[in-house]
Amino acid sequence: MLSTSNSAAATPKAFELKGRMLTLSVLHLLTADLELLAHQLDARLATMPELFRHLPVVLDLEALQGQALDLAALADCLRQRGLVPVGVRAGAPALAGQAAAAGLGVIELGNAPARRVEPVRERPAAMVVQQPVRSGQQIYARGDLIVLAPVSAGAEVLAEGHIHVYGPLRGRALAGVQGDTSARIFCQSLEAELVSVAGAYRISENIDETGRGRPVQIYLDGEALHIEPL
């Protein structure tokens, strides 16, 4: 007969719970009118459906200032459109119960941006891509990424460090994807669907025309994403 201690030792570990900082998009709700929200979401998603598909979002309800809102209906509205609501920003005490009933967590975001602490590690050698990055392709570099050809619409290039595109950038470019706020994006012609540095991003309609179609660099200054001509 096996002892209790030996039996427990033979049982494999089923899980580990670890703390980790993740980058999440925050949906700042400006109205409790779900019909209006659904209409405007549909219009936005129609232009760039792939960008928001399976996108996890935190719901910030602060601007509603106590307006009545059906959180369960809101969560369903978002899920029907491919977004993934994961929680609500902490607020009124009653919110916790409503969030739980809607299958959402309550997340403390705080008012001040969290200070990112970068691990000290040696960055891998740059990845060099000589062929065009075509629609539907995704390239990920654990260091810097250098693309010596165009990045097509519908393509995605990601790097933990900087991104250099020596040609038109028409797809999506995400630098500093592990939180490196010093990362930058450089390209010869900015025609992108989305650009992002350390989680801060802009989509095409929010890129100023003064930078579009020109050589630029893209970087973070505090929490603001800047696009400057080279």
- Residue 26: which of 89, 76, 82 has the closest Cα? 89
| Residue 108 · residue 87 · CB < 8 Å | no
Q: Is residue 21 very low, low, confident or very high in pLDDT (cuts 50, 70, 90)?
A: very low
71 and 101 Cβ atoms separated by less than 8 Å: yes
DSSP string covering the chain = ---HHHHHHHSPP-----------EEEE---S-HHHHHHHHHHHHHH-HHHHTT-EEEEE-GGGTT----HHHHHHHHHHTT-EEEEEE--STHHHHHHHHTT-EEE---SSPPPP-----PPPPPEEE-S-B-TT-EEEESS-EEESS-B-TT-EEEESS-EEEEEEE-SEEEE-TTS-TT--EEEEEE--SEEEETTEEEEGGGS-TTTTTS-EEEEEETTEEEEEE-
pTM equals: 0.54
Give me the pLDDT at residue 224, please: 87
Tokens of 135: 């629609």
Section 159-171 average pLDDT: 94
Q: What is the pLDDT of residue 22?
A: 55
Among candidates 166, 157, 167, 228, which has minimal Cα distance to 196? Answer: 157
Between these two residues, 60 and 127, which has the higher pLDDT value? 127
| Cα separation, 166 vs 171, whole angstroms | 14
* pLDDT above 70 (res 166): yes
Say which residue, 145 or 62, is predicted with more confidence: 145
What structural domains and CATH numbers belong to the chain?
A: 25-107 (3.30.70.260), 127-229 (2.160.20.70)
Q: Answer whether residue 119 shows pLDDT above 90.
A: no
User: Which residue from 182, 149, 154 is spatially nearest to 167, judged by alpha carbons?
Assistant: 149
Residue 192 has pLDDT above 50, yes or no: yes
Q: Is the confidence at residue 181, as pLDDT, over 70?
A: yes
Average pLDDT, the chain: 81
